[in-house]
Chain A
Amino acid sequence: MQRLSRRTILAAAPALAFGGPLVTAPARAAKQYGPGVTDTEIKIGNTAPYSGPASSYSTVGKCKTAFFNMLNAEGGINGRKINFISYDDGYSPPKTVEMVRKLVESDQVLFLFNTLGTPTNTAIHKYCNAKKVPQLFVATGATKWGDPEHFPWTMGYQPNYQSESRIYARYILEKHPNAKIGVLYQNDDYGKDYVRGFKDGLADKAKSMIVSELPYEVTDPTVDSQIVSLQSSGADLFFNVTIPKFAAQAIRKTAEIGWKPVHILNNVATSVGVTLKPAGLENAKGILSTFWFKDPTDPTWKDDAGYKQWLAFMDQWYPEGDKTDAANAYAYTVCQTLVQVLKQCGDELTRANIMKQASNIHDLALPMLLPGITVNTTPTDWYPVKQMQMARFDGTRWVLFGPVLTGAIG
């Protein structure tokens, strides 16, 4: 869960250009309302871990509440205020089921928005699709959320693990076509998701290029022995699929034993403070990774208009929020995407139309997304953000380079 949230945080920062949606609002048709909608209000449901083991992610929920407060103060959307009902599920799947059923059956929300966590969303996946309630822009990095054929009421948001590792695969094929690759991954769905996408990206070269592939368990004390084995396998490119604690160990050990591979680190562990400092900034120099939204701590964005817009929002509406926490940039961005969907819906605020409009977002640029990265969906492509940009750590901060890349599935 830590991994998920960090992922959420990293994945999380775009913002929405209010003025600039490229999609024109549909002509006002006859009003059509689903549950939870009146001429003055739209009810939206949400669950987040305000208590319990994952409560550090509660800021995502609080930031969204602050966002809708701002939106309502500005007059809402087409004259309707957003009634954002967010319940605590403590990151416990049975509680999520209970709370979501309350939202749908008692509070009668129009749809669920950005419910947080992989196990918690899995628990309500079937329920939402059986009840035909949109489970929109879920806050998790797993790959399974973009499956309109089997789950036409559930849509993810951020770039998923497989997309990301396809980007690395493309980079490797282009820049290091003869690399001997060593992979270290966490032995669970997150690690395996990355490895699957990576191999898909390398396609038929995967077999010959990957010389060693070693798992570790979250319960392992260290990954030192895996690093030594990877070095002795003769690998000269290291794909590091680990959560921050193990990433730091791996980076440190790699330097200690004098192994100097091309080092690719998954986005999950890119935090300078949490991963790279403990590993030793000097040791981390030259490591490659990817990003998709503006890191609020990166001085590059100090004078950026989008960043300033986000900062103004934080100052006025969520002053108690942590401005170095990328999760708040994520929450801001995903809310702005929702605003776009609701604007597109016009007066046809039905559950079906929510999904229809959510799957017709075109080139939506948002203030906190990296320049060039836009939100795009089609009726068959349900991965809203799938572009990322590569970056290299220069010893103090991440420096973006190269073009914006797409690694999307399909």
Chain B
Amino acid sequence: MTSEQDTTLFAPSGETRAAPQAARLSAGHWVLVGVVAIALVLPFVFQGFVVFQLTEVMIYGLAILGLNLLTGFNGQFSVGHGAFYGLGAYVTAIMMQRWGVPYYWTLPAAGAVCFVVGVLFGLPALRLQGLYLALVTFAAAVALPQLLKFGPLENWTGGVQGIVVDQPEAPAFLPISADQWLYYFTLVVLLVMFAGAANLVKSRSGRAIMAIRDHPIAAAAMGINAPLYKTLTFGVSALYTGVAGALGALAAQFVAPDSFSLFLSIYFLVGLILGGMGSLPGCLFGGLFVLYVPNIAQAVSRGLAGAVYGVIMLLVIFVMPSGAAGFTRLAWAYLSRRRSQ
């Protein structure tokens, strides 16, 4: 049974374990409140482009969250989530620029389209496991940029030229810049979607999803409808990443086939693993890594940026083998132990 191996591969440290409840929960809530409070202040501390970068971090974090639901929680591998991200971005761009739909309505549409495509994609995925599924999703990531350039679709997609997207302006009554507005808009979407994901994971369905990851046969024996949950997880995962793509189109104000190359999918995977599989907050760390580490690498050495990137990645994995989330958990446990001694 190959999924035996998968189980060890995907099992995150802790998430399914019964947590030492009450005290940690409330502490977690305080941390959450603190983080949100800081997030609310940040746009007034930093200048425009840093606000833009932070917006992108949240967007990548959201995309990685989508991938995490699939890979971290359900144990299905995807190397092609950049395709869903691109799809969401194009839905937004086409609706806004071709049909004149206000930007906020394009988000649910992008999510819905990606959900449907994700479910459809999940159907053949039922028959494929582990590396084979990874290959199929890989194909999606390779195909998307070409499909976007495909002749018959060009009237919508704009072909290689892409589509320039108007930046959403802040409502007139708010004295903030467009960058700050998009930041808060993204923050709200992010919080709503994180709350949704947290609830999903804690729910009966969430337990079913994780049970399928941990032991598919046992899960099926307990009466869990594995095919249904697997396809739905694929859909929800695509939805999350698609909404992130829609936000990404608003932030970059431009979509083109070159924006959604294979590298994007790989970066999501890197962000997922370094952030921590099966951890929700870890996704934001993944977003930070995806955005900032290439910049750090090229600041160290432009000629060796790729090598520096690799070294940083190795160091992160060495120091935090279970991702940022696992590291935080271990550090927290260590500190509490010290305190109680």
Give A contacts to B, CB under 8 Å. 1, 50-53, 86-88, 90-95, 97-98, 101-102, 104-106, 117-120, 122-123, 125-127, 187-190, 215, 217-219
Residue from B151, B259, B261 in contact with A187 in the complex, judged by beta carbons closer than 8 Å: B151
Q: Which residue of A lies closest to B163 (CB)?
A: A122
Contact B252 A122 (CB under 8 A): no
Supposing A93-B162, A98-B56 touch, asked if A119 and B258 sit within 8 A by C-beta, the answer is yes
Q: Which residue of B lies closest to A100 (CB)?
A: B49
Is B263 in contact with chain A by the CB < 8 A criterion? yes
Inter-chain contacts of B248 with A (CB < 8 A): 94
Q: Which residue of A lies closest to B298 (CB)?
A: A88
CA distance A188 to B154 in the complex (A): 9
Contact A119 B49 (CB under 8 A): no
Q: How many A-B residue pairs have CB under 8 A?
A: 104
Inter-chain contacts of A119 with B (CB < 8 A): 160-162, 254, 256-259
CA distance A91 to B48 in the complex (A): 23
- Give 30 A-B contacts (CB < 8 Å), ordered by A residue: A50-B302, A50-B305, A51-B294, A51-B305, A52-B263, A53-B261, A88-B294, A88-B302, A92-B264, A93-B254, A93-B255, A94-B254, A97-B251, A97-B253, A98-B49, A98-B52, A98-B53, A105-B47, A105-B49, A106-B50, A117-B258, A119-B161, A119-B162, A119-B258, A123-B259, A125-B164, A127-B253, A187-B151, A188-B149, A217-B150
Q: Which residue of B lies closest to A217 (CB)?
A: B151
Contact A123 B252 (CB under 8 A): yes
Give B contacts to A, CB under 8 Å. 47-50, 52-53, 56, 146, 149-151, 159-162, 164, 248, 251-259, 261, 263-264, 291, 294, 298, 302, 305-306
Minimal beta-carbon separation of A34 from chain B (angstroms): 18
Inter-chain contacts of A190 with B (CB < 8 A): 160
Inter-chain contacts of A88 with B (CB < 8 A): 294, 298, 302, 305
CA distance A95 to B260 in the complex (A): 11
Contact A93 B305 (CB under 8 A): no
Contact A93 B302 (CB under 8 A): no
Inter-chain contacts of B302 with A (CB < 8 A): 50, 86, 88
Contact B261 A93 (CB under 8 A): no
Minimal beta-carbon separation of A141 from chain B (angstroms): 13
Inter-chain contacts of B294 with A (CB < 8 A): 51, 88, 90, 95
Task: Give 13 new A-B contacts, CB below 8 A, not counting A90-B294, A94-B251.
Answer: A1-B258, A50-B302, A51-B306, A53-B261, A88-B302, A92-B258, A92-B259, A95-B294, A97-B52, A104-B49, A106-B50, A119-B258, A219-B150
